[in-house]
A and B are shown apart, each in its own frame.
Chain A
């Protein structure tokens, strides 16, 4: 792999120990994947933030990097294991909270914006079409590649950090245009709206794995729908890129292989996400809620009281705007809680609840896998109805 003089100097340790480590990681990745050179990135999103997943090993490593490391490009952070302000009220143990704050401190010392959200593109980390970036967090990676037209591989926590500390990544995989073509055509033969997108992502992902799809038959899509779809298809399939005819911005060749998605596929997906069980937890916001979703939830909860524990997950910046609009107080007055900095996939929730109600097929996956929950899947309206009545209808 070709390295510039400056990159050689970084590798030799002339820019400090953390930068040297980072460069070693990039060079190794370049070697494994046959990259010809390193390329500059416009921004980074770092995952691997929850102390639940990092443990003391990760914390030690981050603290060591923070001794002399500084990020060289705009870098934002994925959700942590706790709401950094109201963790006590949410019954998180003090030991866990202390360790989690040490993790956040290390990231902050590295110069990372501690946004703690999985929707960096809604809080100021918005890459443009054609820009190279190095992001982790599968839903954000897929959204950035597919909807924004930026270019990134699915980075892990350490490789994203390495990109942040050098401002570079190895030139392979989805950074190369020849690897961004669709591999299978999906003809959607049923109407898709609102939460159907989470089912569509589930269904396509299960059928086509990590193949890049070219999706036909969709007339319109909004931000929330594409955010939900990105999370679903990345969780159930593993692809980091999709194309939707007349909607997404990337050019692609049209492959020969084809499959159809019918109404029955969505029904099967819905059935598969709905377990038997007494509901005791409503969780909305996987990926984190947008402003429009918060507004919708505030209207639905206005003047009502919830009868089961209800957490609405969003970015702290969006919560702040929701407070200014008066939406946050409508939600909080109902007894539901707006929870920031964390999410259902990475908070230590195992054993706390038995049956999750959600509008996210991704949350069903992590709820079942990581937390042993039963799950119920439906629209935001249906989830809020369950929160208020205590019943899943």
Chain B
């Protein structure tokens, strides 16, 4: 299955999808040293986003969250790519400074946690390889 999207930051990545329908706040919501979601009550609480194709509707919270994405990348625990429904400024800026491929306008309902996904953020589509 191929799904089209809008490129925010280009690149290519392949990995396992980690999906939530809740917005993510990277500042205070994700541990920058481990990549583990620490926001209390979040669907992904205690899950690790490192190396995953992280799929969520949009970002929320402090603009400092962009720097958390940068720190995750420096610590080699950033997601391999990010897919959003509607990308917000915090996540966009974070992905750019952390060099994480990012697309939005993706029908994220079609993706489930555990799917293997090829993100082609150079040409603007993703492939769901295995469900």
Footprint of B on A, CB under 8 Å? 21, 24-25, 28-29, 31-32, 48, 53-58, 60-61, 156-159, 162
Contacts and interface: CB of A to CB of B under 8 A. Distances in A.
Nearest to A162: B93
Contacts, number: 68
A157 B97 CA distance: 13
A58 B9 contact: no
Interface in B54-91: 62-64, 66-68, 70-71, 74, 87-90
A110 B68 CA distance: 21
B5 interface: no
Interface of B: 6, 8-9, 32, 62-64, 66-68, 70-71, 74, 87-90, 92-93, 96-97, 104
A156 B92 CA distance: 12
B66 A60 contact: no
Contacts of B74: 57, 60
11 contacts: A21-B96, A25-B93, A28-B93, A48-B64, A57-B68, A57-B71, A156-B66, A158-B63, A158-B66, A159-B93, A162-B93
A213 to B, nearest CB: 24
Contacts of B92: 25, 28-29, 32
Contacts of B70: 57, 60-61
Contacts of A156: 63, 66, 89-90, 93
Interface SS of chain A: helix, strand, loop or mixed? helix
Given A32-B8, A55-B71, A21 B66 contact: no
Contact of A28 (B8, B32, B62, B64): B8
Given A57-B70, A156-B89, A25 B96 contact: yes
Contacts of B6: 31
A48 B89 CA distance: 15
Contacts of B66: 156-158
Max chain B Cβ within 10 angstroms of own Cβ: one of A55, A156, A158: A158
